[in-house]
Structure 1
């Protein structure tokens, strides 16, 4: 069992100094907009990922007018207590550690205390460009496989280096061909590893998403999810050679695993242009709950589940299906935010699930 016992926030967003303890598996945070519900969820996420879920820089997470912040939390994992601490100093230096031992590489923390967040803006995974779907896939696999995360970090650095050489060639007409060859070879090796790992993961992941979608939506709409990659039909080394002239002209590496995508379809049409808002929400929840289930299967314990304003844009039936999934079938710890205390309380009481509601 993995459980967050308590968390304290000092100068984090709108919190000067606050501490919260959690005694139930299901905790609701309710209050008006601007009361700090989402900030509290993000602080919990921060403890698991060493950064904000919403892409804020470290300094942007400090309370307005302050130069730093501190987060402390106690978690219980497999009957052992762990103290997690994050400090952002006034000079901008961040320290992050567990049990009084700070990391030299923050990436080493990812996956130790797994967490899944569902927020309103996550619909971008479905409606926006491929980068959002790649990021979602990468964050999930990174919680399962530290080697994948490090290889992904290496790939992105190599991609930047190759693109810089391409720009240099376009600007000056000169390039270090030996260096380009070395960087391209390393890029190919890293890209091949990432493609193989993504393919393996998605073979397991996609059927879980489809089953969850049908369960939440309550019907049998024909949903399709297909992994698209340039590496499916060609060797990565050949791809780079074939596109070299194009890459030079555009000053960037035009093909590779950094362009991978999940193609989403509904009744043989593109999902993003066909689906209703309710269907988009159902697919979003299916993707995120599939992430939860795969993490549970591989870790042997459920990750934390953070649900931010999930009551918006879902009808009553779909909401009941979702809450049943996350609060009854799920044996892990769930945190839910809502602007209406009475609505949240009534929904949890109808499920007859043990819970606590914290008004902010």
Structure 2
């Protein structure tokens, strides 16, 4: 699968632009602020219906404009004939975004997620290691949402029930604990526990399936200097969690939020049995997150029976020569499908990709955004 064409109207710094891409390697070059990352985000948005860098869709609209439109053609090569799908995403300020597949709307926007798998690798991916548990949950949830439509539905439903329960807890707290309607809370606890268990089980199975891929990539990139592991930490794993959850109700009311559940899960990254966050070097942390993304690529490829689009944003500036050489070797071997690379130094990229076979195209981005 690959993205053949992309049209952008009022998307970030692109007022009106049209690109035709190589099904193999596409290199976006130009100074910082010229729109390289914004173009990657447009591809990500077209595939997943959201930006990779912010949660508010309206932030993707060009300054002082009222709307944006993304329109692209995805191609799935076939033995008989290539199958194409036109995806159009538009947003008018103050309104809900519209997603069309071959000019027809989805019954549910979530149906779009996972149809066109994509993996984005960015310089601050190391925040997955150094940051809070929320960032690691978001990573796992994003991968599983592309892999498993049922997981995505469970996740959305869980977030909805959790929001409703938290609103109710705040209401009871404002009453200083008087007139707490425990029967009403029960109606939220039951689905939250049931859906939470499903989410927990799927996350647990995902880690089991995902870890060997990550370990294999880390071993390749690091020349097997150390071993890594991922440990899933969840309240739901505790014995008698359902009873503990109910017993925790008074604390929830005092805190005005649900303090136990899968929304508090974490994924601990280990190196030689120790916390990567505390004991891993910068090089080890970078290697780990690259292995995470390549493991994500493998999982999506196996589930979707097609190679995901791989977006590499400015990673050559953040990697040493050894790791760059390993990645280039994978590109040369044809391990990936359609690939997008951004770089502010075109001469460096041309040298690195000199021996990569196939259709390698370069795109000179415009001037830096003021």
TM-score, length-scaled by structure 2: 0.93
Using a 3 Å threshold, how does the CA distance of structure 1 residues 246 and 90 change in structure 2: closer, same or farther? closer
Unaligned runs of 5+ in 2: 366-370
Unaligned runs of 5+ in 1: none
Corresponding residue to 2:246 among 241, 249, 252: 241
SS at match of 2:90: strand
Q: Which residue of 2 aligns with 1:69?
A: 68
| Residue 202 (structure 1) shift | 1.1
| Residue 269 (structure 1) shift | 2.4
Q: Which residue of 2 aligns with 1:111?
A: 114
| Residue 137 (structure 1) shift | 0.6
Would you say the 8 A contact 2:58–2:93 is kept in 1?
Answer: no
| Residue 104 (structure 1) shift | 4.0
Using a 3 Å threshold, how does the CA distance of structure 1 residues 174 and 121 change in structure 2: closer, same or farther? farther
Asked whether 1:129 is paired with 2:128, we answer no
CA RMSD of aligned residues (A): 1.5
Separation in 2, partners of 1:91, 1:62? 12
* Number of corresponding residues: 359
SS at match of 1:349: coil
Would you say the 8 A contact 2:3–2:23 is kept in 1?
Answer: no
Q: Which residue of 2 aligns with 1:337?
A: 342
Would you say the 8 A contact 2:47–2:117 is kept in 1?
Answer: yes
Would you say the 8 A contact 2:44–2:51 is kept in 1?
Answer: yes
Separation in 2, partners of 1:34, 1:227? 38
Corresponding residue to 2:152 among 131, 142, 149: 149
* Superposed CA offset, 1:87-142 (max 9, x none): 11254332111101112422110001111111112221111011111111111111
Q: Any runs of at least 4 consecutive aligned residues in structure 1 with deviations exceeding 6 A, and if so which?
A: none
Would you say the 8 A contact 2:75–2:83 is kept in 1?
Answer: yes
| Residue 167 (structure 1) shift | 1.6
Would you say the 8 A contact 2:136–2:266 is kept in 1?
Answer: yes
Separation in 1, partners of 2:227, 2:273? 8
Q: Which residue of 2 aligns with 1:275?
A: 280
Q: Which residue of 2 aligns with 1:140?
A: 143
Q: Which residue of 1 aligns with 2:353?
A: 348
TM-score, length-scaled by structure 1: 0.96
Would you say the 8 A contact 1:96–1:103 is kept in 2?
Answer: yes
Separation in 2, partners of 1:264, 1:111? 26
After TM superposition, list the pairs within 5 Å mapping 1:181-192 onto structure 2: 181-192=186-197
Asked whether 1:26 is paired with 2:14, we answer no
* Superposed CA offset, 1:49-69 (max 9, x none): 111110142221111111111
Would you say the 8 A contact 2:332–2:357 is kept in 1?
Answer: no
Deviates further, 172-181 or 42-51: 172-181
Separation in 1, partners of 2:346, 2:297? 26
Q: Which residue of 2 aligns with 1:97?
A: 100
